[in-house]
Chains A and B, each alone.
Chain A
Amino acid sequence: MIKLAFAWLLLGLALTAAQAAFPAPTGWWPGAGARIAIFHVLTVGWLTQLIFGVAYWLFPRISKANPYGPAAAAYVALALLNAGIVLRMLDGGRGWGEVVGGVTQLAGVVAITAVIWPRIRTK
């Protein structure tokens, strides 16, 4: 999750630079709403994933036998979060990707919250 976060950071900064160099919508990408898609690359792809990547490692362990909780759920959350960003990127912020990507990211957020929630505890 942390490695993916850094990858999204590099891509987000590269796209920000590209958009600064070519601000007018040209061709299939970037679309008029690409700025929102790039913004989500940085906020969801980088910041949120970095936060959850660190929290997944750092927060109190559940037990010795099952320290991090269900690994499958964590991988599902990882896949959904990143698929949501990719869908927004492919669409270029035009319309359908905003909705499908948004729903996918929402599902990813719910999944990662479900994974982290039991580890937020006093003992």
Chain B
Amino acid sequence: MPRTSVWILRFALGCLVAGAAVGTLAATGLGPQAQVVAARLHVDLVLFGFMLPFAVGTAWWILPKKGGVRPIDIPAALFVIGLFAVLTATLLGGAAGLAAGGYVLMLGSVGWTVRALWPRVQPIIAWGKR
């Protein structure tokens, strides 16, 4: 497994544990405002912190390399920065610009990653024509 995948997958598992912990906290009868913050943190951590990186980390490792391997270290780092911006904005409560910037950064990094993975997604029959 490539080192990039190792770090992406470990990051994803860390987010899953953190997201599950925050989700449990949200169910324990916090105040209404704290519950909203915890619920948003829970969704962002599990959806964008766990599921997306886990899928990308696995895909980066397992997809055929015949299309050419393009590194995704930089977009992966940008995605982490974007996610932390979103989480920080949620914790600060109402930092809409920071949240929007974080999501835009995540969108850009996902686009970069898709571009890097795209040539590696091809029917097996195409391999012989290269």
A interface residue numbers (CB < 8 A to B): 43, 47-48, 51, 55, 58-60, 98-99, 102-103, 105-106, 109-110, 113, 116-117, 120-122
Q: How far is the CA of A116 from the CA of B13 in the complex (A)?
A: 9
Whether a CB of chain A sits under 8 angstroms from the CB of B79 is no
List of B residues within 8 angstroms of A58 by Cβ: 58, 62
Is there contact, CB below 8 Å, between B51 and A98? no
Is there contact, CB below 8 Å, between A120 and B17? no
List of A residues within 8 angstroms of B23 by Cβ: 102, 105-106
Is there contact, CB below 8 Å, between B58 and A106? no
Q: How far is the CA of A47 from the CA of B46 in the complex (A)?
A: 11
B interface residue numbers (CB < 8 A to A): 1-3, 5-6, 9-10, 13, 16-17, 20-21, 23-24, 27-29, 46, 51, 54-55, 58, 62
Q: How far is the CA of A109 from the CA of B110 in the complex (A)?
A: 26
List of A residues within 8 angstroms of B62 by Cβ: 58
Q: How far is the CA of A120 from the CA of B54 in the complex (A)?
A: 11
Given contacts A113-B17, A120-B10, contact A51 B24 (CB under 8 A): no
Of A58, A106, A117, A122, most B-chain CB atoms within 10 Å: A106
Is there contact, CB below 8 Å, between B27 and A99? yes
Interchain CB contact (< 8 A) of A117 among B10, B27, B55: B10
Interchain CB contact (< 8 A) of B16 among A60, A103, A113, A120: A113
Is there contact, CB below 8 Å, between A55 and B58? yes
CB distance from A35 to the nearest CB of B (A): 13
Is there contact, CB below 8 Å, between B21 and A106? yes
Is there contact, CB below 8 Å, between A98 and B9? no
Q: How far is the CA of A120 from the CA of B2 in the complex (A)?
A: 10
Interchain CB contact (< 8 A) of A102 among B3, B5, B24: B24
CB distance from A73 to the nearest CB of B (A): 15
Is there contact, CB below 8 Å, between B6 and A122? yes
List of A residues within 8 angstroms of B27 by Cβ: 98-99, 102
List of B residues within 8 angstroms of A48 by Cβ: 16
Interchain CB contact (< 8 A) of A122 among B2, B28, B29: B2
Interchain CB contact (< 8 A) of B24 among A55, A99, A113: A99
List of B residues within 8 angstroms of A51 by Cβ: 51, 54-55
Q: How far is the CA of A113 from the CA of B24 in the complex (A)?
A: 17
